[in-house]
Structures are given as C-alpha cells and as structure tokens.
Amino acid sequence: MQYKRTEYFRYAFGEPLAAEFRIIVENGTGAESSPGDCELMDLSPGGMKFFAAYDIPLGGEPVKLHIKFTLQSVPIDVQGTIKWKKPSKNGQLYGFDFEKDAALEQLIVDELKLRRHAEIEDGK
C-alpha cells in the first residue's frame, strides 16, 4: 500500500496535545470502548499521528477509533482508521486517517490557523 503524505499539510505540535480515544466495536451495535488518553503529535485535515500508552491490537480487520480533542476553541470529534503502529518509549505511536468529511477538514484548518495565531501572539 502506498501512503500519500503529500495530500495534506501536517502541523507538528511543539508540545503534544491531550486527546481522548475510544475503540469502535465493529459488531453492528455502534458500541465503543471505555475512553483512553492519548496525545496528538501532529495533525492534518485528513489524519494525525498520536501517542498512547495503551497498545491497541491491530489484526486482520481495520481498527476504527473515535477521537476527541480541542485545538483552540471548538471541540473536534473525529472517526477513522488506524493505518500504522510503531513502538515508542512508554507506549505506541499510531498513524490515523479520518473518514472523509469536507466540513471537518475545513474546521481543522480554521482551528489550526487560530491556534497558530495565538501561539505567535504568545511568542511561541
């Protein structure tokens, strides 16, 4: 599988951004796991890289997640699929692609702009 990182820009956080994830149970019920903590390492309108202390098992079926975070002012709620996993100190790094949603992509771009402007004003 060829992964096209050039389709979107990526915003790397200086300090990881706190977020919450839930595993979506694929049995037709729409059930989700208990929440787990994670940290966003980078973000684009189409996906993210995040760290979690929890080792999410990846098997034959794609693993779908529901992730919630706030970049600047609006809570963002995304669903998508884990694309890769790499061991990291005290946990795992994951590559995560969002389900296609033009409104969500625009919200992420707008919130990243607001966050970056605030960082510039704060001298970061």
Write the DSSP string, 70-109.
ESSSSEEEEEEEEEEEEEETTEEEEEEEEPP-HHHHHHHH
| Residue ranges of domains in the chain, CATH in brackets | 12-121 (2.40.10.220)
List, for residues 69-78, the tens digit of each pLDDT value: 999 999 999 9
- Identify the residue whose tokens are 């992730």: 67
List, for residues 18-56, the tens digit of each pLDDT value: 999 999 877 667 788 889 999 999 999 999 999 999 999
Integer CA distances (angstroms), 26 to 16, 29, 47, 59, 80, in order: 29, 7, 21, 13, 13
**Arithmetic mean of pLDDT, 97-109:** 93
The pTM assigned to this predicted structure is 0.86
The conformation of residue 117, written as its DSSP 8-state character, comes to H
Residue with the bigger pLDDT between 16 and 33: it is 16
